[in-house]
Amino acid sequence: MDLNIPKETYIGQIREIVIGSNDRAIKVGGESCLPFYTFEGEMPNPIRIAMDVYDYPPEGWAEALLEVYGDVLNDPIAWARKCIEQFGAEMICLQLVSTDPYGIDRPSEEAAKVAKQVADAIDVPLIVWGCGNEAKDMETLRLVCELCEGKRIVVGPVVEKIYARVGAQAIAYGQVVAASTPIDINLSKQLNILLSNLGVPDEQILIDPTVGGLGYGIEYSYSVMERIRIAALLHEDERLAFPMICNVAKEVWGTREAKLREEEAPLLGKAKERGVLMEAITAMLLALAGADILIMRHPDAVALVRRALNELRNA
């Protein structure tokens, strides 16, 4: 019996981006097929999981996370080492939450120094993520680019309002930018064009499509990411042919359902397992939509996702 199972011909390819500068540097991207469609194209590099580290003890975290990180919340370096040594983190994402002007409002200089210390203390590639306040992030990320010269780190979120200033620093100090736009394929493309016009080399751009968590708008991110990847691979839109990075954990663990204790909602089962599965499913759906780097938090969720990523990539 003959079956007509059509195969797709991909004319585009995602760029390969190197992050890190030592022998543990990693390469992401390079795909010439939709995620895991390896029967008709290549996925030369694995999807990478970066693990979250906060620069300041976080507030209101779920019990399941405090159990794991309770002993290192005060010390970003120890926290990062724990992720690398105990949970096999391939990258670290340092979240500079303390810089938020509506929170601790730590000066950019101080935060950037912490970033530098973490970068020096670890051998895996580093991502440094700002607090989300544009004015403050512009200041902080500029300093981070400078202090971490030679490390080829990722800085984000580089939104449209700050792309020129942060982009210029990324060029000067050889860092990679996570070009961040609010869940919209056209805005994403536009920002990538702006960065290119500024002179940021294509080898230093990642797309941050902005993600929603499970139950909190993940479907929007899922479809925008699928469209970005399809545009890059099938319509050869080379301004969208960059690897994608997704800041997953913050979205999942901030939700009500991930934080509810078992006594508060018996029908929702065990709190830890629920949070772990919510994080793992969110990350996995985004991987299916085209993510190349997933920023995650709970080691059990990381383990579930890592296993599926390995099985799906290998023929």
Partner 1 sequence: MPLSGIEIFKLLPKKNCGECGVPTCLAFAMNLAQGKAELDACPYISEEAREKLSEVAAPPIREVVIGSDGRVVKVGGETVLFRHEKTFVNPPGIAMLISDAMDDSEIDARIDKLNKMVYDRAGFILRPEMAALRCDSGNPNRFGDVVGRVANSSDCSIMLISYDPSIQAAALEICKGKRPLIYAATEENIDEMIELAKEYTCPLAIKGNGLIGVAKLTSMAMQSGLKDLLIDTGARSLKEAFTHHIMARRAALVGKVKELGFPTIVMACEMSDDLLMQTFIGAIFIAKYGGIIVLSDFQGHSLYPLLLARMNIYTDPRRPLAVEEGIYEIGKPNEESPVLLTCNFSLTYFLVSTEIENSRVPSWLLVKDTEGLSVMTAWAGGKLTADVIAPFVRKCGIESKVKHRKLIIPGYLAPESGALEEELGGEWEILVGPREAANIPAYLRTIWQAA
Residue 12 makes contact with partner 1 by CB under 8 A: no
At how many degrees (to 10) do helices 185-198 and 163-173 cross?
50
Q: What's the one-letter identity of residue 103?
A: G
Q: Terminus-to-terminus CA distance in the chain, angstroms? A: 24
Q: How crowded is residue 286: how many other Cβ atoms within 10 Å of its Cβ?
A: 25
Binding mask 209-238 for partner 1 (x = CB under 8 A): ---x-xxxxxxx-xx--xx--x--------
Q: How far is the CB of 168 from partner 1 (least distance, A)?
A: 27
Residue 187 makes contact with partner 1 by CB under 8 A: no
Closest to partner 1 by CB, 193 vs 268, is 268
Place of tokens 């996370």: 65
Residue range at the interface with partner 1 (CB under 8 A); choices 105-113, 136-144, 170-178, 283-291: 283-291
Residue 266 makes contact with partner 1 by CB under 8 A: yes
Closest to partner 1 by CB, 148 vs 294, is 294
Q: What's the one-letter identity of residue 132?
A: G
Q: What is the C-alpha to C-alpha distance for residues 284 and 280, in angstroms, rounded to an integer?
A: 6
Residue 267 makes contact with partner 1 by CB under 8 A: yes
Name, in order, each residue with C-beta under 8 angstroms of 313's C-beta and a sequence gap of 6 or more: 36, 38, 43, 46, 47
Residue 156 makes contact with partner 1 by CB under 8 A: no
Residue 106 makes contact with partner 1 by CB under 8 A: no
DSSP string for residues in 103-141: TT---HHHHHHHHHHHHHH-SS-EEEE--S-HHHHHHHH
Q: What are the beta bridge partners of residue 179?
A: 158, 207
Closest to partner 1 by CB, 72 vs 271, is 271
Q: How far is the CB of 264 from partner 1 (least distance, A)?
A: 11
Closest to partner 1 by CB, 11 vs 265, is 265
> Site residues (CB under 8 A) for partner 1?
1, 3-6, 36-37, 39, 60, 102-103, 132, 212, 214-220, 222-223, 226-227, 230, 254-257, 265-274, 276-278, 280-281, 284-285, 288-289, 304, 307-308, 311-312, 314-315
